[in-house]
Amino acid sequence: MTWIASSSKGQLKIQQMAFVLMAIIFFFALVAILYIIISLGSLKEKAVSLQEDEAKELVRKLASTPEFASSACSNCIDLDKVFVLKFRNSYKKFWNLDFLQIEKIFPLSKGECEKSNYPQCSKITIIPQEEFGSPSSSFVSLCHFEPQKGGYVKCELGRIYASGKGLK
Amino acid sequence: MIKNKRAFEFSFSWLFAIIVGAVIIFLAIYAANKFIGTERVKQDTELGKELGIILLPIETDLETAKTSKISFPFETRLYNDCISSNVFGSQKISTATKSGIGNAWENPGFASTFYNKYIFSEKILEGKDYFVFSKPFEMPFKIASLIYLWPKDEQFCFVAPPNEIQEEITDLQLENIFIDNCPPKAKKVCFTGSGCDIDVNLLGSSSEIRGSLKRKYSNKVYFETTALFYGAIFAEPEIYECQVKRLMKRASELSLIYYTKSTLLSPKGCSSNLESSLIYYANQTFSINNSLDLISYISQDSDSLRRRNNDLDCKLF
C-alpha cells in the first residue's frame, strides 16, 4: 500500500517536471519566433534604406557618368545619348535601380519621348517600373543638338528621378 | 569494512532533471552561438553594401583625380571579387569584421553586387583605415571612374617615376605613397631596372603612359593611360585583368550608344562619319582576351577615334 503511494507521488513529480519543461520550451520558441519576426522586419527596413541611400547618391552622380554626360558643358546631361539609352536593354539592371526617368521641366512639353516626337517631348523613362518607392530627384541641365540656325547645342532645365531596387 | 551502509538515493527525477537540464543548456549555447554568427553575417553584409554606397561620392565627376580615407569602427577585411562574364561583368564587395567572441575572423557576409564599379585592389585587404583614390578612365571617351583601395598599413615607393606620375602623387598628397625615399617596409615600384617588388616597363614616348608591369611571382600585365597604370599597381593581376575586360565591355556598350547617337544626328546635319569605326571598336573591345590586347591593337583604334572626333565640328564625345 505504501509502495503504491510513493510510486504515484514520483510519477506526479515527473509529470510536473515534464509540463514545466514543455512550458519552458514553448516560451523560448515564442521568444525565438518574436525575435525572428522583429529581426526580419528590421533587416528588410535596413535593406530598403540602403537601396534608397544608393539611389540618392546615384542621382547626384548620374549626370557625370559616361552614359549621361554631355561634352558640351560640365555636369550637363546629353539628352541625345539618354534617348538612345532608353532603347538599350543591357542597361536595365546596370545601376541597381527600379526606376530611372529624366523629365524636361522648362520649357514645358508633354509626353514620353519616342522616335516620332523626340526632342519635342517631356520624359525619357530609362528604367520603367510600375511599382517603386518614392524616387530621389535632382535638377540637371538637359542638352541636345538642335539643327536650326546652322546647328547648335540647346540646353534646358530638367530633373532626374531614381528609385532604389525594392524587395520583392 | 564499510561501517556506514546508507547509500545516496539517486532518484529517477534527479536523473531526468540532469539530462534534460544538460540538453537545455546545450541548446541554449548552440542557439546563442548561431545567433552571434547570424548577427555577424548580417552586419558584415550591411557593411559591404554601405562601403559600395560610400564609394559613390568618391568617384570622379569632372576631376582628374580624387582622394579620400575610409575608417571602419573595427579591424575589417575587405573582399574584392570581380566577375567578367555577362554584359558588364560585376564587382562584388564583401566584408568580415574582427570579433572578440569566437573565431577572430569568420567568413565574409554576403557580397553586394555592383555593375558600375571598378575597384582595383588586392583580393583580400585587412585593416581599420583605408585610403581611396579615384581617376577617370578614358579610351577614347570616358568609360568609367576607377577606384584604387589600399589599407593604411601598406606602403608603396615609386623609384624614379615619370614626371607625370610624380607630379600627380605630389599634388594629391597620396598617403603611404613615397617617391624615391623608400621606407623599409614599402613595396618598391621601379621604373628603371628590375628586381623590385613591382617592375614597370614603359613603352615608347606617346602622350599617354603605356607599358607593362610585373609583380614578383606574378604574371605580367599591360596598361594604357595613367588610370590603368595605377590599377595595375594596386590590384593583383587576376583582379586587374578582370576589371580591364569589364571596362572594355562597357567601352563596347558606350561605342554602340555613340553609334546610335551618330545615326540619330546625321539626318539633322551633325554627321560624324564615325559609324563604321564605332561598330568596329565595339566589336574589338567586347572580344578582348587580356590586357595585352589593349596595347596591341585597342589603343591604336582608340587613338584614331579620338583624333577623328577632335576634328569634327559637331563632336560625338
pLDDT (0 to 100) of residue B259: 97
Distance CA B132, CA B70 (A): 7
Whether residue A5 has pLDDT greater than 60: no
Q: What are the residues of chain A with a beta carbon less than 8 Å away from any beta carbon of chain B?
A: 10, 13-14, 17, 21, 24, 32, 43, 46, 50, 53-54, 57-58, 60-61, 63-67, 69, 71, 74-75, 78, 80-81, 83-85, 87-88, 90-91, 93-96, 145, 147, 151
Q: Does B57 touch chain A (CB under 8 A)?
A: yes
The DSSP H or E segment spanning B216 is: none
What is the pLDDT averaged over residues B278-305? 95
User: What are the CB-based long-range contacts (under 8 Å, 24+) for A29-38?
Assistant: A32/B31
Distance CA B292, CA B97 (A): 37
According to DSSP, the residues that pair with B222 across neighbouring strands are B212
DSSP state of B158: E
Give DSSP secondary structure letters for A69-107: B-SSSTTEEEHHHHHHHTT-GGGTTTT-EEEEEEEEEES
Distance CA A155, CA A13 (A): 87
Lowest mean pLDDT across A74-78, B240-244, B254-258, B287-291: A74-78
Contact residues, B window 138-197, toward A, CB-based 8 Å cutoff: 141-144
Task: Write the Ramachandran bin of B3: left for phi over 0, alpha for psi from -120 to 50, otherwise beta.
Answer: alpha
Give the type of residue at B109.
Answer: G
DSSP state of A112: B
CA distance A130 to chain B (A): 23
Distance CA B99, CA A159 (A): 45
Structure confidence at residue B262 as a pLDDT band (50, 70, 90):
very high
pLDDT (0 to 100) of residue A40: 86
Question: A83 near A112, Cβ under 8 Å?
Answer: no
User: Residue B279 is placed in which grid cell?
Assistant: 561598330
pLDDT (0 to 100) of residue A1: 45
Q: How far, in whole angstroms, is CA A160 from its chain's centroid? A: 15
Contact residues, B window 99-138, toward A, CB-based 8 Å cutoff: 113-116
Q: How far, in whole angstroms, is CA B265 from its chain's centroid? A: 37
Nearest to A94 among B60, B116, B142 (CB): B116
What is the pLDDT averaged over residues B60-86? 93
What is the pLDDT averaged over residues B280-288? 96
Whether residue A78 has pLDDT greater than 70: yes
CA distance B281 to chain A (A): 17
Question: A164 near A99, Cβ under 8 Å?
Answer: no
pLDDT (0 to 100) of residue A7: 60
For residue range A87-142, list pLDDT tens digits in order.
Answer: 999 999 999 999 999 999 988 888 999 999 999 999 999 999 867 678 899 999 99
Whether residue A4 has pLDDT greater than 90: no
Substitution target from B11, B264, B274, B305 for chain A, most A beta carbons within 10 A: B264
Distance CA B19, CA A89 (A): 63
- Test B31 with A17 for CB contact under 8 angstroms: no
Structure confidence at residue B2 as a pLDDT band (50, 70, 90):
low
3-state secondary structure of B102: coil
For residue range B116-143, list pLDDT tens digits in order.
Answer: 999 999 999 999 999 999 999 999 999 9
